[in-house]
Amino acid sequence: DGPARFSYEGLTARWLLQGARTIGRYRPDLVINNGALPFTVPGLSCNLAHDLGWATSPRRLDRLRRLYKRFAYSRCDHVIALCHEVQDGLAPQIGASAGEIRVIPPCVDVGAYQAAASQTREDAILHTGTGGYKDPATTIRAFAGLGRSSTRLYIEGDIDDELSQQVAALPVATRDRIELLGPLPAAPLRALLGSVKVASFPTRYSVPTASATVVEAIAAGTPVVGSTLISADLLEHEGNGVACGDDAELTAAYERLLGDDDRWATMSRSALAMAPRFSASQVASSYLALLGGPTA
């Protein structure tokens, strides 16, 4: 009875030790876990599957991961995949049919993003995230192949020696147009996403995945140039961006978007048209529907 109460937490060592007791104390109506809790909880529980692992993950751990997933996902009421490719890939791993796994996408506060018009945006590419699977090296190589001398490249995220050395090894005219930003707070990152021309995501996963950072680019109306391992739920090839298979395709996609205002504007409009499906209110409605209550 009364308004629904929510609990949202990630799977950490603390949760494994204290999570069940904490959830039991508050007895939420709906628990949305960012991963797979290996125990049951009171109320309606949802375990989220973001991906099936990164392409850079050690394969020797695959069997252990599968055993854990099969056990942990059986502890909840609903298994949620963030995109259809993960839904299809996860089903055989946990002994379920694809239809038993619901798809609810990641969300952002769409209203917090401002999409600048083409003529006011900087002639620049933004790459966010520098972990191995984010593959900033590929963006740097593709950028170095551009035939444009005015375009800049921004790389956001932790900067290590290997990444710095890769940039330092480039010709002066190229490296002077690359800025290693380090990690940015949320507000400056949102502003930057809405002020550059292209967002680059050559991300490597084991299956195509719904990256939350791609959703941010969509909300900012910024065309995406990414790998074929970004879910088609987010990156619609030749719709809101271009899905690429290698460095040369990335470079060509940058060239075409940066050199064709009409094409850029069409893709930006497509991104903005997609954005409402990832709004916090829309995604919350999908979870509320699991409770059988009113939705927004």
Please give the angle made by the CA atoms of 190, 196 and 201, to the nearest 5 degrees: 80
Using DSSP's 3-state secondary structure scheme, residue 140 falls into helix
Which of 54, 106, 103, 53 minimizes the C-alpha distance to 79? 103
Q: For residue range 93-146, list pLDDT tens digits in order.
A: 999 999 999 999 999 999 999 999 989 999 999 999 998 899 999 999 999 999
Q: For residue range 72-85, list pLDDT tens digits in order.
A: 899 899 999 999 99
Residue 57 has a pLDDT of 58
Q: How confident is the model at residue 36 (pLDDT cuts 50, 70, 90)?
A: confident
One-character DSSP codes across 210-221: --HHHHHHHHTT
> Does pLDDT of 37 surpass 60?
yes
Which of 119, 125, 170, 144 minimizes the C-alpha distance to 248? 144
